C-alpha cells in the first residue's frame, strides 16, 4: 500500500511522462518573494537552487534592500533579481484586499515609487536585475500596468494562469501557479495532495491546449515565512523534477529576454 505522498509523486510522474510522449518539455520556473537581506533562510533557499541546479528569481523589495544582499548575490549567477513593488506597503481602500500598486494611492505616485525602486535595483544589481515587476500581494491596478513600459519594465508576474501573455504593449506576463504555503496557518503547508494537484492541473491544461502552453509552470516560495513542511516539499519537488527527463527549468533571463 503506497502512502498518499508516494501516490502524489507517482501522479506527477505520469503527467510528465505524458509530456515526454508528445516530445515536449514541461518547463518550470521558480520565484521567491519578499527578499531584503541575507540570512539563514536565504542561505537555505540559495543552497537548494544550487544543489538542484534550479534557477531562482528573487523578488526583492527595493526600499528595504540591505547592502549585504548585494555582496551575497554577487557571484551567485543562478539567482536573478526581480522588483517586488517598492516598499510592500498596503494602499488598499477600505474593504479592498491588500495592495501596494493602486488603491488609495494616485497612479502618478505609484509610478514614481516604481521608478525609484527600479533605479535602486538596476544600480546595485546591474544586469542581474531583470526589469520584471512582481506586485506585492500579486495585485496591481490596470492603470499602473499600462504605464510600466514607460519606466523600463518588460515583464510582470502575479499568481495563477495569466489572462493574456501581454497585458500591455511590451509587458510579458508569466505568473506563478503553485504557492505551497497555507496563509491561514502561519507559513504552514497546503499539503502534498493539493500541491501536486495544482501542478498537475496546470501541466495538463497546458499539454492539452486548454491553457496557454507557452506560460511555464511557476513555483512560488516565501523563504522568510514557510515552515519545515514547505521546505521539505520544495526539496522533494526540486529533486523530483531534476530526475524527470521531461521537466526543465527556465531562468528569468530566458523568459524575459
Ligand atoms: Zn510580498
Give the Cα separation of 163 and 148 in Å (integer).
18
Question: In Å, what is the CA distance from 101 to each residue of 13, 72, 98, 131, 196?
Answer: 39, 28, 10, 16, 31
User: What does the pLDDT average to over 46-61?
Assistant: 98
Angle at 77 between CA 72 and CA 130, to 5 degrees: 95
State yes or no: pLDDT of 211 exceeds 90.
Answer: no
CA 181 to centroid of ligand 1, rounded, Å = 13
State yes or no: pLDDT of 2 exceeds 80.
Answer: no
pLDDT at res. 83? 98
As residues whose CB is below 5 A from the ion ligand 1, the structure lists: 33-34, 136
Contact in structure between 189 and 233 (CB atoms under 8 Å)? yes
Contact in structure between 202 and 15 (CB atoms under 8 Å)? no
Residues 6+ away with beta carbon under 8 Å from 215: 161, 162, 165, 174, 175, 206
CA 213 to centroid of ligand 1, rounded, Å = 27
CA 220 to centroid of ligand 1, rounded, Å = 11
pLDDT at res. 126? 93
CA 135 to centroid of ligand 1, rounded, Å = 7
User: What does the pLDDT average to over 140-166?
Assistant: 97
Tally of residues, the chain = 257
CA 61 to centroid of ligand 1, rounded, Å = 8
Tell me the pLDDT tens digit for each residue of 88-126. Answer: 999 999 999 999 999 999 999 999 999 999 999 999 999
User: What does the pLDDT average to over 151-164?
Assistant: 97
User: What does the pLDDT average to over 43-58?
Assistant: 98
CA 94 to centroid of ligand 1, rounded, Å = 20
State yes or no: pLDDT of 151 exceeds 70.
Answer: yes
pLDDT at res. 1? 59
Which residues of 73-128 form beta strands (DSSP E)?
A: 79-83
pLDDT at res. 145? 98
CA 33 to centroid of ligand 1, rounded, Å = 5
Tell me the pLDDT tens digit for each residue of 170-206. Answer: 999 999 999 999 998 888 999 999 999 999 999 999 9
CA 187 to centroid of ligand 1, rounded, Å = 13
CA 34 to centroid of ligand 1, rounded, Å = 5
Tell me the pLDDT tens digit for each residue of 54-89. Answer: 999 999 999 999 999 999 999 999 999 999 999 999
User: What does the pLDDT average to over 31-41?
Assistant: 98
Amino acid at each position: 500500500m503506497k502512502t498518499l505522498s508516494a501516490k502524489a509523486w507517482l501522479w506527477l510522474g505520469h503527467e510528465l511522462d505524458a509530456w515526454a510522449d508528445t516530445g515536449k518539455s514541461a518547463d518550470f520556473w521558480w520565484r521567491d518573494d519578499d527578499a531584503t537581506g541575507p540570512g539563514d533562510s536565504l542561505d537555505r533557499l540559495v543552497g537548494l537552487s544550487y544543489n538542484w541546479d534550479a534557477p531562482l528569481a528573487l523578488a526583492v523589495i527595493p526600499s528595504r534592500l540591505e547592502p549585504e544582499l548585494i555582496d551575497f548575490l554577487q557571484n551567485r549567477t543562478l539567482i536573478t533579481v526581480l522588483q517586488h513593488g517598492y516598499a510592500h506597503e498596503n494602499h488598499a481602500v477600505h474593504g479592498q484586499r491588500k495592495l501596494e500598486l493602486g488603491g488609495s494611492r494616485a497612479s502618478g505616485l505609484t509610478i514614481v515609487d516604481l521608478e525609484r525602486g527600479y533605479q535602486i535595483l538596476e544600480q546595485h544589481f546591474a544586469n542581474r536585475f531583470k526589469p520584471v515587476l512582481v506586485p506585492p500581494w500579486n495585485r496591481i491596478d490596470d492603470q499602473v500596468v499600462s504605464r510600466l513600459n514607460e519606466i523600463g519594465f518588460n515583464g510582470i508576474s502575479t499568481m495563477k494562469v495569466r489572462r493574456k501573455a501581454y497585458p500591455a504593449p511590451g509587458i510579458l506576463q508569466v505568473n506563478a501557479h503553485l504557492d505551497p504555503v497555507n496563509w491561514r496557518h502561519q507559513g504552514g503547508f497546503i499539503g502534498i495532495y493539493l500541491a501536486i494537484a495544482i501542478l498537475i492541473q496546470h501541466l495538463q491544461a497546458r499539454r492539452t491546449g486548454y491553457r496557454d502552453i507557452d506560460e511555464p509552470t511557476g513555483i512560488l516560495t516565501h523563504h522568510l515565512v514557510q515552515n519545515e513542511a514547505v521546505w521539505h516539499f520544495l526539496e522533494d519537488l526540486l529533486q523530483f523534477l531534476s530526475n524527470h527527463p521531461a521537466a526543465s527549468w527556465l531562468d528569468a533571463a530566458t523568459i524575459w529576454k
